[in-house]
């Protein structure tokens, strides 16, 4: 028996088999003309040249010249793309230009800050700057040895206090908390995240005044103030990492008869360890540059103090503040030390962020292709 003949339905707008007739609407969209790759750069160069000419003729400053160049480029890329390509591509190129301009505007303060700190602080860096304190130093000389040790001690104590509290709180919220207490803890963590740093310093000062009397100053008090700022950051980072652990891992552990606490320790925390370590490192980098709470409770000194429970303790942020706000006579040496201390603080934060990246890369789950 001969099989029935199947007729091919011809597509609307086509005169024959594919490729033998005129293109339909979809094929025409695929074959639309596009601008050359160098066109955006050429238009940007032309807009910049026109803006420079207008600025020189009218006496505008550089900021006005940049704004005019950006506007001219956006208008030019939209018109040229609309005439050569289509309206959708023109809109896409215009929005891409706006996003790029916004990125450059956001990047400008950062690059300016880094350039300013590097240009003013590199001259202060020397062997004496890292190995000497400011004890009995007037004018030239001295260093930040005492402030570096104070920063490390205060931040280390704050980390020791904040990490266990933050991690255990996050474990409770994710693994156990289901009722009103969990909702209140979440609310309080959100509130603490937005607390001004000066309030944390006042809280630590008021707390220690109750036990030691007015006028108390200590590095441990500064660590308590910093821990108030660190705890909500650690809780949020740990909570998000624990939520990313698949429930299948927990269920598989429970199916083997493993208790919940052991499942959390051996399965959940190990799986989320990379993200937790990264969050803790970023929390440390966030509070290491705080000045206001340390001004209130830790104070400042020109000598090295390794005992956080006895007397004032210098830190890099407070050292920078006093060196710049009260430079003394002659002022140029103190201001140079302030810029040097600021540069060292930025370098410490940079190292902490790099450590966080390395930890995340080393301990993150390995996935194959």
pTM of the model: 0.76
Neighbours of 250 (CB within 10 A): 18
Say what the pLDDT of residue 194 is: 85
pLDDT at position 20: 46
Which has the closest alpha carbon to 64: 55, 75, 53?
55
Task: Give residue 340's pLDDT.
Answer: 92
Mean pLDDT of the region 108-131: 89
For the chain, give the percent of residues with pLDDT over 90.
34
Query: Residue 20: how many CB atoms within 10 A of its CB?
Result: 8
pLDDT band with cut points at 50, 70 and 90 for residue 24: low
Q: Is the pLDDT of residue 8 over 70?
A: no
Taking the C-alpha atoms of residue 300 and residue 324, their distance in angstroms, rounded to an integer, is 14
Whole-number Å distance between alpha carbons of 251 and 246: 9
How much is the pLDDT for 12? 47
Indicate the pLDDT class of residue 173, thresholds 50, 70 and 90: very high
Contact 204/221 with Cβ under 8 angstroms? Answer: yes
Write the CA distances from 123 to 26, 340, 343, integer angstroms: 64, 8, 11
- Helices in the chain by DSSP H: which ranges? 25-30, 39-58, 62-84, 87-121, 127-131, 145-171, 180-193, 197-212, 219-243, 247-255, 260-263, 269-271, 273-287, 292-297, 316-325, 331-363
Give yes or no for a contact between 296 and 204, defined as CB atoms under 8 angstroms apart.
yes
**98-102, 231-235, 364-368: least confidently modelled range:** 364-368
122-131, 174-183, 290-299, 357-366: which range is least confident on average? 357-366
> What is the pLDDT, as a whole number, of residue 231?
93
Nearest-angstrom CA–CA distance, 317 and 321 = 6
Q: Are 317 and 289 in contact (CB under 8 A)?
A: yes
The predicted structure's pLDDT at residue 132: 87
| pLDDT for 333 | 84
Query: In which residue are the tokens 């293109």 written?
Result: 23
d(CA 289, CA 342): 9
- pLDDT tens-digit map of 60-93: 888 888 889 889 999 998 898 888 888 898 899 8
Residue-wise pLDDT tens digits, 137-164 = 777 888 899 999 999 999 999 999 999 9
- The answer to whether residue 41 scores a pLDDT higher than 80 is yes
Mean model confidence pLDDT for the chain? 85
Q: Residue 211: its pLDDT value, please?
A: 86
Q: Is the pLDDT of residue 167 over 90?
A: yes
The verdict on whether omega for the bond into residue 330 sits within 30 degrees of 0, i.e. cis, is: yes
- Using left for φ > 0, alpha for ψ between -120 and 50, and beta otherwise, residue 13 falls in left
- pLDDT for 46-62, tens place per residue? 988 998 898 888 888 88
Mean pLDDT computed over 107-135: 89
What percent of the chain has a predicted confidence (pLDDT) above 70? 89
pLDDT tops 80 at residue 269:
yes
Evaluate the CA torsion angle 291, 294, 299, 305 in order and state its sign: negative
Separation of alpha carbons 174 and 245, rounded Å: 11
Please list the residue range(s) of the chain that carry CATH number 1.10.3720.10. 130-363
| Per-residue confidence band for 126, with pLDDT thresholds at 50, 70 and 90 | confident
Mean pLDDT of 336-347: 91
pLDDT level of residue 367 (50, 70, 90 thresholds): low
Residue 152: its pLDDT value, please? 93
Residues 212-237 have a mean pLDDT of 91
The residue with tokens 């407070």 is 318
pLDDT for residue 15: 47
286-300 exposure pattern, b = at least 16 Cβ within 10 A, e = fewer = ebbbbbbbbbbbbbb
CATH number of 130-363: 1.10.3720.10
Band of the pLDDT at 221, cuts 50, 70, 90? very high
């Amino acid at each position: 028996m001969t099989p029935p003949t199947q007729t091919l339905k011809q597509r609307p707008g086509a005169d024959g088999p594919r490729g033998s007739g005129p293109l339909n609407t979809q094929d025409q969209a695929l074959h639309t003309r596009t601008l050359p790759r160098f066109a955006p750069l050429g238009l940007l160069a032309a807009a910049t040249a026109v803006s420079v000419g207008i600025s020189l003729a009218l006496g505008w400053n550089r900021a006005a010249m940049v704004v005019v160049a950006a506007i001219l480029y956006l208008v030019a890329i939209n018109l040229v793309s609309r005439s050569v390509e289509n309206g959708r591509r023109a809109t896409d190129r215009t929005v891409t230009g706006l996003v790029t301009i916004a990125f450059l505007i956001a990047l400008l303060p950062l690059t300016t800050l880094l350039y300013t700190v590097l240009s003013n602080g590199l001259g202060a860096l020397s062997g004496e700057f890292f190995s000497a304190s400011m004890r009995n130093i007037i004018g030239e000389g001295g260093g930040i040895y005492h402030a570096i040790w104070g920063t490390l001690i205060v931040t280390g104590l704050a980390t020791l206090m904040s990490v266990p509290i933050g991690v255990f709180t996050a474990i409770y919220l994710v693994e156990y908390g289901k009722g009103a207490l969990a909702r209140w803890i979440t609310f309080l963590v959100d509130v603490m995240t937005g607390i001004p740093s000066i309030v944390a310093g006042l809280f630590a000062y008021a707390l220690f005044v109750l036990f030691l009397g007015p006028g108390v100053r200590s590095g441990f008090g500064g660590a308590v103030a910093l821990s108030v700022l660190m705890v909500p950051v650690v809780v949020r980072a740990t909570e998000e990492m624990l939520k990313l652990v698949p429930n299948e891992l927990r269920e598989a552990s429970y199916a083997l008869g493993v208790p919940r606490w052991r499942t959390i320790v051996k399965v959940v925390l190990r799986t989320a360890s990379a993200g937790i370590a990264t969050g803790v490192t970023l929390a440390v980098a966030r509070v290491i540059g705080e000045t206001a709470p340390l001004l209130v409770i830790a104070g400042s000194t020109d000598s090295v103090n390794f005992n956080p429970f006895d007397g004032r303790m210098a830190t890099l942020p407070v050292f920078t503040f006093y060196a710049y706000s009260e430079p003394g006579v002659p002022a140029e040496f103190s201001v140079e030390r302030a810029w040097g201390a600021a540069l060292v603080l930025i370098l410490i934060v940079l190292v902490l962020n790099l450590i966080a990246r390395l930890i995340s890369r080393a301990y993150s789950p390995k996935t194959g292709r």
